[in-house]
Amino acid sequence: MTVSFHKFGDYFPGTGDIRDVGHSKGKYYSLNVPLDDGIDDESYQSLFKPIMGKVMEIFRPGAVVLQCGADSLSGDRLGCFNLSIKGHAECVRFMRSFNVPVLLLGGGGYTIRNVARCWCYETGVALGHELTDKMPLNEYYEYFGPDYTLHVAPSNMENKNTHRHLDEIRSRLLENLTKLRHAPSVQFQERPPEAEQPEQDEDQENPDERHHADSDVEMDDAKPLEDSESTQGARVKRESAETEVTTDQDGNGVASEQVRGPEPVADGVGSSKQNPPIDASPMAIDGPAVVRAEPERSNKLQEQQALHQKP
pLDDT per residue over 73-123, tens digit each?
999 999 999 999 999 999 999 999 999 999 999 999 999 999 999 999 999
Q: Is the pLDDT of residue 249 over 60?
A: no
In the DSSP assignment, the letter for residue 85 is H
Q: Is the pLDDT of residue 222 over 50?
A: no
Q: Is the pLDDT of residue 241 over 60?
A: no
- pLDDT top residue among 291 and 45: 45
How far apart CA 273 and CA 269 sit, in angstroms, is 11
In the DSSP assignment, the letter for residue 280 is P
Question: Coil, helix or strand for 288?
Answer: coil
DSSP secondary structure, 186-204, as one string: ----PPPPPP-PPPPPGGG
- pLDDT top residue among 76 and 244: 76
Q: Residue 200's pLDDT band (boundaries 50, 70, 90)?
A: low
Q: Cβ neighbours of residue 161 under 8 Å, at least 6 residues apart?
A: 35, 36, 38, 39, 43
Length of the chain counted residue by residue: 311
Domains and CATH numbers, the chain: 2-177 (3.40.800.20), 238-261+290-311 (no CATH)
Q: Is the pLDDT of residue 7 over 70?
A: yes
Phi, psi of 246 (to 5 degrees): -115, 165
Tens of pLDDT, residues 45-59: 999 999 999 999 999
Tens of pLDDT, residues 125-171: 999 999 999 999 999 999 999 999 999 989 999 999 999 999 999 99
- Are the C-beta atoms of residues 155 and 83 closer than 8 Å to each other? no
How far apart CA 83 and CA 154 sit, in angstroms, is 6
- pLDDT top residue among 292 and 24: 24
- Are the C-beta atoms of residues 110 and 78 closer than 8 Å to each other? yes
| H helix intervals, the chain | 41-58, 85-96, 112-126, 163-177, 228-232, 295-307
Q: Is the pLDDT of residue 10 over 90?
A: no
- pLDDT top residue among 271 and 61: 61
Work out whether strand 2-7 and strand 30-35 pair parallel, antiparallel, or are unpaired. parallel
Could you give the angle at the alpha carbon of 168 between the alpha carbons of 165 and 170, nearest 5°?
A: 110
How far apart CA 95 and CA 55 sit, in angstroms, is 11
Tens of pLDDT, residues 163-194: 999 999 999 999 999 999 877 655 545 555 55
